Copies of this chain bind each other. A is one copy, B any other.
Amino acid sequence: MCAVVGVYNIEDASKIAYYSLFAMQHRGQEASGISSSNGHKIYTIKDRGLVSQIFDENILKKLTGKMAIGHNRYSTAGEDSILDAQPVFARYDLGEMAVVHNGNLTNNKEIRDELIESGAIFQSSMDTENLIHLIARCTKERLKDRIIDAIDKVKGAYSFIFLSRTKMFVMRDRYGFRPLSIAKLADGYVVASETCAFDLIGATFIRDVEPGEMLIFEDGNFETIQIYKSEPKKCIFEYVYFARPDSSVFGQSTYELRKEMGRVLARESTIDADLVIPVPDSGIAAALGYSEESKIPFELGIIRNHYVGRTFIEPTQAIRDIKVKMKLSPIKDLISGKKVVVIDDSIVRGTTSKKIVQMLKDAGAKEVHMKISSPPTSYPCFYGIDTPTKEELISNKYTLEEIREFIGADTLEYISLNGLLKSAGEQKSFCTTCFDGKYFV
């Protein structure tokens, strides 16, 4: 699902980008990269691994200048990851450019085929490369106009940040699928996928970049152009699962919304139980809301282990399946003999839920009631969330009862789509394609 950051007019911009990427590490752990510009030349360093593994003081020193863009890449199957790390850098007729992208272009193939047809070459499988080609081939004189033209050709979800040697351009798609906000720091600005980046570096949140808005950073300041105007289709999964709870996303507190989902879930599916426990860490806020509404006591009944090994040691005969237990462990004294409501954010393939239910039953739970703070996700996302194929999504193939049976819970309830939207406040402005399959772009 990735994270992007842009830093403009701040000393040691690459360090600001580093910290911002560090704060947004949860949005992508496969690869990271930063490009900086000192006004004359763009430098790019990118590699596989976590931000803190790739960069150190010496490496950041090479990324000079007061402008920088950065990217965290979410793990994806298939292609070699070094070639697919971002920023993508290129020399072209107006000089040098680097681009980062959070999202997914739905007409990637068409554009690529067309470009290839006319002699372009592609060195990676990233749709980000398309944009550079479209810009390079545009004959307009100013980069700004070229970006506008290029953007006009692509469809789908995108938060782009372009870095030239002297300017920075930010563009969010007309639906505003992915979050993108702007903040003030020292004499400059920082643009980032999530506001938790601002909190870490001490930048002051200004506002969200608007859907369809372009920001042009130049001469120490920025101007704005509203390129498109559409009904927004913001990704509600950012609230459900993806964003950090301390981030304010699409203008609202992620943590508060998750709590509200929990409350709605409690209203929709009351049950007689002894305690409410979250699957940590993602289910905590919703479980707090569920507890508040249902009056069933909240307990942190499952502990998350912070020490995770590099390589898995095959267990011995005496030990059964251990993988989930190495990450999550139940508090037996608490759970034993109790009717337990477990809150999780979603069920994808169902295998982890099955193991969690089993673990709780092994810990002595009398009943396990699984409550999910999102509706069944039956359709893959093509707007930037890395979901499995339709065939692998358990709710695409099985009924609620079948899923319940598979995971072994006594009851299983999902929040209703309506309930989810209600909890987010504005019912019309969200993308619900992964629930209803109505792809629209």
Residues of A near any B CB (own CB < 8 A): 10-12, 15-16, 18-19, 22-23, 25-26, 29, 43-47, 50-53, 55-57, 60, 80, 82-83, 88-93, 112, 116-117, 119-123, 132-133, 136-138, 185-186, 196, 199-202, 244-246, 248, 253, 255-256, 284-285, 288, 292, 297-300, 303, 305-311, 313-320, 322, 325-326, 329-334
User: What residues of chain B lie closer than 8 Å to A199, measured between beta carbons?
Assistant: 325, 329-330, 332
- Given contacts A80-B43, A322-B200, A332 and B246 within 8 Å (CB-CB): yes
Sample of 21 A–B contacts (CB below 8 Å)? A10-B318, A12-B318, A15-B316, A18-B313, A47-B82, A52-B308, A89-B123, A92-B116, A93-B117, A119-B136, A185-B318, A200-B325, A200-B329, A201-B319, A244-B303, A246-B303, A246-B330, A285-B300, A288-B298, A288-B299, A298-B298
User: What residues of chain B lie closer than 8 Å to A89, measured between beta carbons?
Assistant: 83, 123
User: What residues of chain B lie closer than 8 Å to A88, measured between beta carbons?
Assistant: 123
Q: How far is the CA of A126 from the CA of B90 in the complex (A)?
A: 12
Partner of A132, one of B10, B19, B60, B121: B121
Partner of A245, one of B90, B300, B318, B325: B300
User: What residues of chain B lie closer than 8 Å to A292, measured between beta carbons?
Assistant: 297
- Given contacts A185-B318, A199-B325, A307 and B90 within 8 Å (CB-CB): no
User: What residues of chain B lie closer than 8 Å to A122, measured between beta carbons?
Assistant: 90-92
Q: How far is the CA of A148 from the CA of B251 in the complex (A)?
A: 58
Q: Is the CB of B334 within 8 A of A253?
A: yes
With CB as the reference atom, state the residue of chain B lying closest to A50: B307
- Given contacts A133-B121, A200-B325, A310-B52, A11 and B318 within 8 Å (CB-CB): yes
Determine how close the nearest CB of chain B comes to the CB of A359; give it in whole angstroms.
Answer: 9
With CB as the reference atom, state the residue of chain B lying closest to A10: B318
Q: How far is the CA of A427 from the CA of B374 in the complex (A)?
A: 47
User: What residues of chain B lie closer than 8 Å to A330, measured between beta carbons?
Assistant: 199, 246
- Given contacts A56-B313, A329-B196, A332-B248, A322 and B117 within 8 Å (CB-CB): no
Q: Is the CB of A44 within 8 A of B83?
A: yes
Q: How far is the CA of A439 from the CA of B417 in the complex (A)?
A: 62
User: What residues of chain B lie closer than 8 Å to A46, measured between beta carbons?
Assistant: 82
Partner of A120, one of B117, B136, B299: B136
Given contacts A11-B317, A201-B318, 9 further A-B contacts (CB under 8 A): A19-B315, A43-B80, A44-B83, A46-B82, A51-B307, A90-B123, A186-B317, A200-B329, A288-B298
Q: Is the CB of B16 within 8 A of A80?
A: no
User: What residues of chain B lie closer than 8 Å to A322, measured between beta carbons?
Assistant: 19, 200-202
Q: How far is the CA of A80 from the CA of B35 in the complex (A)?
A: 11
With CB as the reference atom, state the residue of chain B lying closest to A185: B318
